[in-house]
Structures are given as structure tokens and as C-alpha cells.
Amino acid sequence: MSTLSANQLQIAPLGAGDLIDRAVRLYRRHLFVLIRTAAPPVIIAAAGWIVFSISMQRVFITKETSTLLLYLLAAVVALAVMLGGYLLTLVVMGGATRTLVAHLLRNDPVTARATYSAVRTRFWGLVGASVIVMVWIGISLMVALGVWQVVLSSFSMLVVLLMTTAPPWLPVVLFLLGLLVSTPLAIWLFFFIVARVAYVPQVMLVEGKGVFDSFSRSFSLARGNVRRLTAMTVFTTFATYSALMILLVPLGWYGYLSGIDPWNSTQWPVWYSIAYSVLGPLSSILLTPVWMLGLSLLYVDERVRHEGYDIELMAARQLPPLPELNVTSPLGTALSSNEPRAPMPPGPRPSSSILNLS
């Protein structure tokens, strides 16, 4: 497979449109490799979603108590499998970022093996960090929904007060105004909170930091990235649902011609339920790599903006590897080593002063 040279892929601060364009270009160039990389966790989530959908459909039409409990148990297990698939997606995202940075730095080939090899070196740490990230996302969603409800309720109370005295059109206008104010505010608040932890897996695998240090590092990097993160999410979501509609429409027509009511899920045969449940994960498999690339590029872009990462990458391309010194820095390295460091030999320790490195 042809690769995109590091010299061809310029590293510069990216706007929201540039970020999406760069992710799509990389996706087109490494299409099948990226699909193979994203497929395993998405397939796990898909298997959970299929079993969960079929179990919940049968819950509403089953009359026997024992069978009902069996379907409920299957739904709970499927939900756990589905969450595990989403968790592994976050884990793989860190490995994908390391592969991208190695590609930019050394023009290494983009392969699924390289991504999963990087993941294996920090697997349990990545799992623990991803669990915390998922909990953080859940809390962010609850906070955003709470703010949305409070703002919309305030406008609704105003509508009730004016309903008897104001013109008939005024309550409708106020309610629509409440939706226009509360919805963007809730979306912005959600992404503002979630953005704080957007780079945790990337920091762990690119910079080699621990779990809690990675959260601190992600907080420090996530400055001014709300608009670009929102744009990337909206684009990926729209593209995923567009692909889903392209797949659903033929299935719906075929089901309708076969005498199946596409709107009554309780009467669907098993084959139609499985086919319907598979299409969503299939569209996710096609578009998840764009999301992974977008977050990876966003991480690189944040370091370019805040730390001159483009200069560091160019220097790392031209200069030999620096010696392993006992030096700590608030900034991350260009690309940390996956290999464990050998113990330092006995004797005088190298000075940590940047003015006396020899």
C-alpha cells in the first residue's frame, strides 16, 4: 500500500474544516487498513447491540415469566458486551494515534498490527483510563441534560404565565426560542467538559505517561478545542447516519415488499431484526476510522499550537535519538519508546540542567 510521506503531510495548525479534510484524506489513502483496525471493537459492540435489540423486542411480546427473565438477562449481558466494545474503541484510539505519530515522524507504514502492538504494551492502563473517560462522558451528558432541562423549563414557565394574556403566537415563539437557546448551550457545555479528557489514550501511548498524569496532561492540552471537537463529532455523526440511511432504505423496501411492517418492530421476523441491527454497526465500522483519525490529528494539532510540536517532529526526523537522561519535562516527547528503560548504570547521574547536558 502506498503511504503518505511525512514531507507531504504538512504539520501546521488546523482549523475545523482542515481537520476534517486531513482526516478524510488519510482515511481514503489507508482505507482497508483503518477498517481492519477499527473493526474488532466495533464488531464486539455490534454483537452486543444485535443481542440487546432482539432481546428487548422479545421482552414486549413474551408472556411466560421464565422466558421473560431469560430475555432480560440476555439484554443485560448484551449491554455489558456493547459497553465493552465502546471501551475497546477508546483503547484502540490511543494505539491509532501512536501509529499516526510514528508515520509523521519516521514515515512508518500505517498497519493494524502496529496499532495493536502499541495497545498491548499499555493494555490494562488504557482500559482503566478508558473506564474513567467513559464515566466522565456519562457525567458530562447528565450535566448537559440538566442545564438543558433547567433553561427550557424556565422558558416553559414563562410560556404558561403568558398563555392567557399574550397573543396566541407569543407562547409558541417563546418555546421555540427556549429550544434555540437551551440546545446549543447544552451541546457546548457537553463538549466543553468532555474535551478535558479527549487526549488521555493518546498521551499514554505517544508520551508514555501514567494514567493520572495522562489526565492532567489532557486537561492542560484541551484549551480552545471545543469548536473543532464539536465539528468533528457532528461531521462523523452525520456521515455515519447518512451511510446508515443508504443501507436501511433498500432493507426497508425489501421488507415492505415481503409483507413486513418496517415501523412495527414487535412483528419483525428474526432475520429482519438481525439485518436491521447489523446495518448500524456496519456503518460505524466504515466511519469510526474517521473519528479515530480526527482525534489523533486534533491531539497533534494541540501540541503544534501550544508546544511547537511541528518543530520537535522535524528535529526528531533529522537528529539521532537523544540519550536517555534522568530529566522530566512538562511537555511530552515526540514519541516515547515502547520498550522498558534499562536501569541507569551506577555512578554520577547526568545533570538535569538544560545548560549542562554533557
Q: How far apart are alpha carbons 140 and 174 in whole angstroms?
A: 27
What average pLDDT does range 193-211 have in this prediction? Answer: 87
Q: How far apart are alpha carbons 282 and 59 in whole angstroms?
A: 25
- Mean pLDDT of the chain, nearest integer: 78
Answer with the residue of higher pLDDT: 207 or 344.
207
Task: State the pLDDT confidence band at 141, using cuts at 50, 70 and 90.
Answer: very high
What average pLDDT does range 209-213 have in this prediction? Answer: 88
- Cell numbers of 323, please? 540519550
The pLDDT score that the predictor gives to residue 312 is: 63
The pLDDT score that the predictor gives to residue 13 is: 64
Q: How far apart are alpha carbons 302 and 298 in whole angstroms?
A: 6
Amino acid letter for position 241: Y
* Tens-place pLDDT, residues 101-135: 787 767 778 888 888 988 888 888 889 998 999 89
Entry field: residues in the chain: 358
What average pLDDT does range 7-21 have in this prediction? Answer: 66
The pLDDT score that the predictor gives to residue 296 is: 82
Is residue 277 pLDDT above 80, yes or no?
A: no
| Residue 99: CA count within 13 A, CB half-sphere | 27
Answer with the residue of higher pLDDT: 300 or 191.
191
**Residue 60 parent element (H or E):** none
Alpha-carbon distances of 38 from 26, 41, 50, 175, rounded to whole Å: 14, 6, 18, 42
Answer with the residue of higher pLDDT: 332 or 73.
73
Is residue 346 pLDDT above 80, yes or no?
A: no
Least confident of 178-192, 225-239, 258-272, 310-324: 310-324
The pLDDT score that the predictor gives to residue 3 is: 43
Q: How far apart are alpha carbons 340 and 12 in whole angstroms?
A: 32
* Tens-place pLDDT, residues 50-98: 888 888 877 777 778 888 888 889 889 999 998 888 888 888 888 888 8
- Cell numbers of 152, please? 427550557
Reference 276, options 5, 86, 53; nearest CA is 53
Is residue 351 pLDDT above 70, yes or no?
A: no
Percentage of the chain lying above the pLDDT 90 cut = 10
What average pLDDT does range 278-301 have in this prediction? Answer: 80
First vs last Cα of the chain: how many Å apart?
43
Q: How far apart are alpha carbons 169 and 153 in whole angstroms?
A: 19
What average pLDDT does range 2-29 have in this prediction? Answer: 67
Q: How far apart are alpha carbons 230 and 324 in whole angstroms?
A: 39
- Cell numbers of 108, please? 512508518
Amino acid letter for position 274: I
The pLDDT score that the predictor gives to residue 244 is: 80
Structural contact between residues 138 and 34, judged by C-beta atoms closer than 8 angstroms: no
Answer with the residue of higher pLDDT: 351 or 106.
106
Domain ranges of the chain: 16-315
Least confident of 134-148, 165-179, 204-218: 165-179
